Amino acid sequence: MRVLVVEDTTALAAQLRAALEQADFAVDLAPDGEEASFLGETEPYDAVVLDLGLPKLDGLSVLRRWRSAGRTMPVLVLTARGGWAEKVEGLNAGADDYLAKPFAMAELIARVKALIRRAHGHARPEIACGPLSIDTVLKQVTLNGAPVRLTTLEFNLLAYLAHRIGQPVSKTELTEHLYAQDFDRDSNTLEVIVGRLRRKLGDGLIETIRGQGYRLAGAAHG
Ligand code: CA
């Protein structure tokens, strides 16, 4: 899953990036409102963490631009402590959640994950697919009840397909959601990762849909 962090305070931006990367997100940073506005309108993020006080263009204006351009990715707004008016304004501008500074990184990560799950229609962190069960919070996968060990990229690819269970997901979309802009992806191409997943999970679960990409088979295959 790929997240945009919009934060002009360099130290906080670095902390946010480190914490999100630690949680296996691909992370892009935008240090001001203009760049945020551009990236959010052109790149397909799974979620955004948006500070409101920004140079060039304030966070609320950025958010309104995205929403009026039809961008629907979940947005978590960072507000000043006790700034209830900011929270109300943020929610009215199209924010999905907010967090007051200072906050615990663990809470931010949990909220971002919950926003992404809900955006895909999953209220609970576990996604079941026939013999396969994927816990998106604990990052655990079981096949017929037995744990399966996956690398980070393997898990992320499987989890992305699981969020769209039963639907084909194009290679372009997977690439855009699994890797940050600056990631060196040569030895971790999608084909290689899918091949490893099939060896670990069996051939039937991840289908290749000709001309459309990959699909995690739906419940009918369980
Ligand atoms: Ca700020």
pLDDT digits (tens, 9 = 90+) for 152-194: 999 999 999 998 888 999 999 998 898 887 776 666 789 999 9
**Whether the Cβ atoms of residue 117 and residue 164 lie closer than 8 Å to each other:** no
Give the model's pLDDT for residue 219: 55
Measure 72 CA to ligand 1 centroid, in angstroms.
Answer: 23
Task: Give the 3-state secondary structure of residue 37.
Answer: helix
**Whether the Cβ atoms of residue 76 and residue 54 lie closer than 8 Å to each other:** no
Measure 17 CA to ligand 1 centroid, in angstroms.
Answer: 15
Q: How confident is the model at residue 148 (pLDDT cuts 50, 70, 90)?
A: very high
Measure 131 CA to ligand 1 centroid, in angstroms.
Answer: 46
> SS3 breakdown of the chain: % helix, strand, coil, rounded to 5?
45, 20, 35
Neighbouring residues of 84: CB distance < 8 A, sequence distance ≥ 6 = none
Give the model's pLDDT for residue 23: 93
pLDDT in tens, 28-55: 999 999 999 999 999 999 999 999 999 9
Measure 69 CA to ligand 1 centroid, in angstroms.
Answer: 24
In terms of phi and psi (left: phi > 0; alpha: psi -120 to 50; beta: otherwise), the region of 139 is left
Q: Which token pair is 183?
A: 């990631």
Q: How far apart are CA 127 and CA 137, in angstroms?
A: 11
Average pLDDT value for residue range 14-35: 96
**Whether the Cβ atoms of residue 65 and residue 35 lie closer than 8 Å to each other:** no
Element (H, E) at 27: strand 26-30
Ion ligand 1 — residues with CB < 5 Å: 8, 51, 53
Measure 121 CA to ligand 1 centroid, in angstroms.
Answer: 31
Neighbouring residues of 88: CB distance < 8 A, sequence distance ≥ 6 = none
Give the model's pLDDT for residue 137: 82
Q: Which token pair is 15?
A: 């902390």
Q: What angle do CA 99, 102, 106 make, to 5 degrees?
A: 70
In the numeric block, the tokens 């099939």 are attached to 198
pLDDT in tens, 87-143: 888 888 899 999 999 999 999 999 999 999 888 888 788 888 888 999 988 889 999
**Whether the Cβ atoms of residue 219 and residue 129 lie closer than 8 Å to each other:** yes
Q: Which domains does the chain have, with CATH numbers?
A: 2-119 (3.40.50.2300), 126-221 (1.10.10.10)
Measure 6 CA to ligand 1 centroid, in angstroms.
Answer: 9
Give the model's pLDDT for residue 203: 81
Measure 8 CA to ligand 1 centroid, in angstroms.
Answer: 5
Q: Which token pair is 83?
A: 């700034």
Q: How far apart are CA 57 and CA 35, in angstroms?
A: 9
Q: Is the pLDDT of residue 211 over 60?
A: yes
Measure 119 CA to ligand 1 centroid, in angstroms.
Answer: 26
Q: How far apart are CA 164 and CA 162, in angstroms?
A: 5
Distance of CA 163 to the CA centre of its chain: 10
Q: How confident is the model at residue 220 (pLDDT cuts 50, 70, 90)?
A: very low
